[in-house]
Amino acid sequence: MASSFPLSNADPASVQGKAHARVTGQVPDDMAMIRAAASLTRDLNAARPGVYWADMLVSVGIGYGALAGAILADGLALALLCGLVAVLALYRAGSFIHELTHLRPDAVPGFNTGWNAFVGVPLLIPSFMYEGVHNLHHQRLRYGTVKDPEYLPLALMKPWTVPLFVAVAALGPIGLIVRYGVLAPLSLLIPPLRRIVVERYSGLVINPAFRRAMPEGAARRHWLVLETLASAWAMTLIALVATGTLPLRSFLIGLAIVSGTMVLNQVRTLVAHLWENEDEAMSVTAQYLDSVNVPPPGLLPELWAPVGLRYHALHHLLPGVPYHALPEAHRRLSRELGAQSTYSLANYRSLGGLVGRLVRSTFGRR
C-alpha cells in the first residue's frame, strides 16, 4: 500500500540524499501514511523498563569511567581516547532527557529520579529544563512558528548563523555553572532577576524569543527540588575549584568533555529538521517532511543521534512510541508504504550530506 498524495515541492530523489525543494506548510496531509503509522504500530507503544534502565546505566558507567580515565591518563593519546569515549557515552546518557518528556510517569518506575540523580543534576541539565518545553515543539499549530521553543528557520538565515549555532554550544557548561551556581541563589534575593532566570535560562531551547512560565502544582515542586540540587552541586564545584580541592586541570578536562557532549548535540540538532519553515502553521505531513530520519544501514548515526534520535521524523509522526521501538516501526512503515512513498522522503543517508544541504541553503536563500 503506497501513499500517493501529490508532493509538488518534493523531489523523490531526496530518498538518495539529494536536495529537494523547500517544504512549506502548504503540503497537504498524506492520510494514507498517517493512518498506516497509527495502525501498524499500536503494539509498539509500551515502554520496556529494563531496556531504559540498562541502557542509561551502562552509558553512565562507561561515561564516568572514561571521564576518570581522561583525567588520570598518563599520556595524551590515551587521554584523548578516554575523552572521546566519555563524550559519546555521556551524550547518550544525556539524550534520555528527550525520552523523559514523552514517558508517562508510571511507564518506567523511578526512571525520572534515577536519570536526574546520575545525569541531570551532575551535568547540570535537570529534566525540568526540557519538561514542559519540548511538548510545545510537538503542538501542531505551534511547530515551526515563532512560538516554537525548538525551531529557527536556519536554512533561511545568514550563512554565519550555522557555525555560530554550533560554537555557542561549546560555552554551554560555563553558562550552566553560572546559571545554577551564581544566578539561581542570587535570584532568591532579587525578584526581577528570578523572573529573568525562569523565563530565559530555564529551558533547553534554541528560539531566543521564547519566554518560559514557571509551572504550577506538582511540576513546580519537581522543578524547585531539582533546581536546588543542581544549584548546590554547582556551588560545590565552584568552591572546590576555588579552594584548590579539585585540581583546575581535572575540572577543565571535565568541562571540555561536557562541552563536547553539548557541541555534538548541537550538531545533531542542526540536522534534526530542514529548518525551512518561516512562521507558518504546518500540516502533520509538512512537519514530518521538515524533519529527518537517518535510518540503517549506516552505523554512525547511532553515535551522533542515539536513543532513537536517528528516527526524528518518525518520532514527530509517532511521538508516543518509545525509542527502542522506533527501528521496528520504521521497518514496518517502510515495508508497507514502499520506496516511492511520502514516508521515504524524510529518509537521508548521512550527517555530512545534511549539513552540506543546510549550508548550501543559507548561501542560496540570501
Where along the chain do its domains lie? 27-44+286-365, 49-270
What percent of the chain has a predicted confidence (pLDDT) above 70?
A: 93
Sign of the alpha-carbon dihedral angle for 138, 292, 128, 195: negative
Half-sphere exposure of 355 (CA within 13 A, CB side): 13
Task: Give the residue among 178, 167, 216, 233 at the shortest CA–CA distance from 200.
Answer: 178
Taking the CB of residue 8, how many other CB atoms lie within 10 A of it? 8
Asked if residue 119 has pLDDT above 60, the reply is yes
Reported pTM: 0.92
Give the residue-averaged pLDDT of 288-292.
97
Strand ranges in 68-218 using DSSP code E only, listed in sequence order:
none
Question: Residue type for 80, please?
Answer: L
Residue 144 near residue 291 (C-beta atoms within 8 A)? no
The answer to whether the peptide bond before residue 49 is cis (omega within 30 degrees of 0) is no
Helices 161-169 & 248-270 angle (0-180, nearest 10)? 140
Question: Residue type for 62, please?
Answer: I
Measured between alpha carbons, how far is residue 333 from residues 29, 45, 49, 74, 159 in Å?
16, 15, 25, 50, 36
State pLDDT tens for residues 245-278: 999 999 999 999 999 999 999 999 999 999 999 9
Average pLDDT, the chain: 92
Please enumerate in sequence order all residues whose Cβ is within 8 A of that of 106, keeping only pairs 6 or more positions apart, or say none. none
The SS3 call for residue 27 is coil
Rg (CA), the chain: 21
Asked if residue 21 has pLDDT above 90, the reply is no
Measured between alpha carbons, how far is residue 218 from residues 81, 97, 128, 205, 246 in Å?
43, 19, 12, 22, 36
Q: How far apart are CA 35 and CA 27, in angstroms?
A: 17
Q: How far apart are CA 174 and CA 158, in angstroms?
A: 27
Label residue 138 by pLDDT band (50, 70, 90): very high
- Looking at residue 26, what is its pLDDT? 76
Question: Residue type for 116, please?
Answer: N
The pair phi, psi for residue 320, each rounded to 5°, is -90, -10
Strand ranges in 217-362 using DSSP code E only, listed in sequence order:
none
Question: Residue type for 144, please?
Answer: G
